[in-house]
A and B are shown apart, each in its own frame.
Chain A
Amino acid sequence: SQQGEEDPQALSIQEGENATMNCSYKTSINNLQWYRQNSGRGLVHLILIRSNEREKHSGRLRVTLDTSKKSSSLLITASRAADTASYFCATARAGKSTFGDGTTLTVKP
């Protein structure tokens, strides 16, 4: 898989359900970040997890990092229609971020 590759590519759920997105990467990293992007808009930083951390929470977001498997997951709990967006993971090494293709999440009201 490519550096910072997410799966699934698209996810459609009902409001109130949980959404899980996964990201895999190839090389060693300093940290991994998750971003959200509404259609045609800018990148909104969601959460940063460092290479020595395994799990991090922020509100309804939970991110895990498994450096042995070179993978991360983003869980959005109790989803809302407003969570509809594309979600990208980005691995950072020496300051440079490498983005995946993203997961397009649709939350139906």
Chain B
Amino acid sequence: EPEVTQTPSHQVTQMGQEVILRCVPISNHLYFYWYRQILGQKVEFLVSFYNNEISEKSEIFDDQFSVERPDGSNFTLKIRSTKLEDSAMYFCASSEYEGDTEAFFGQGTRLTVV
């Protein structure tokens, strides 16, 4: 069964460092998303991406964050200068269509900023 894969599963980084979280969405999907879940809290929407551009972003997704689809398969989330409060589980998701369809989530990358 096709699945969304994320790497690494766990990333530890020093405060102020840049991190890139990687995702490989399902191959025929066109819509891509990043979500974040701080430990013990709900899953929060960060950004959606379609046709090589951001289609929607939340207020969490400030100038420190960027997304890119560098090639035909990868979808990345970059945090330029990490803060302690960026520590969270980051989920990538993809869907075939925008509307009435299931979004498939990856297993997540646990980011720990020290």
Contacts and interface: CB of A to CB of B under 8 A. Distances in A.
- 9 interchain residue pairs of minimum CB distance: A42-B107, A95-B98, A99-B43, A43-B105, A42-B108, A30-B100, A30-B99, A48-B102, A101-B42
Interface in A86-103: 88, 90, 92, 94-102
B42 A95 contact: no
B48 A45 contact: no
Query: Could you say which interface size class chain A belongs to?
Result: 20 to 34
B interface, size bucket:
20 to 34
Nearest to B45: A96
B103 interface: yes
B100 A35 contact: no
Given A31-B100, A41-B107, A98 B45 contact: yes
Could you say which of A31, A45, A95, A97 has the most chain B C-beta atoms within 10 Å of its C-beta?
A95
A50 interface: yes
A102 B102 contact: no
Contacts of A30: 99-100
B107 A99 contact: no
Given A42-B107, A95-B55, A97-B35, 12 more contacts: A40-B110, A42-B106, A43-B91, A43-B105, A43-B108, A45-B103, A51-B100, A92-B103, A95-B103, A97-B43, A99-B44, A102-B42
A33 interface: yes
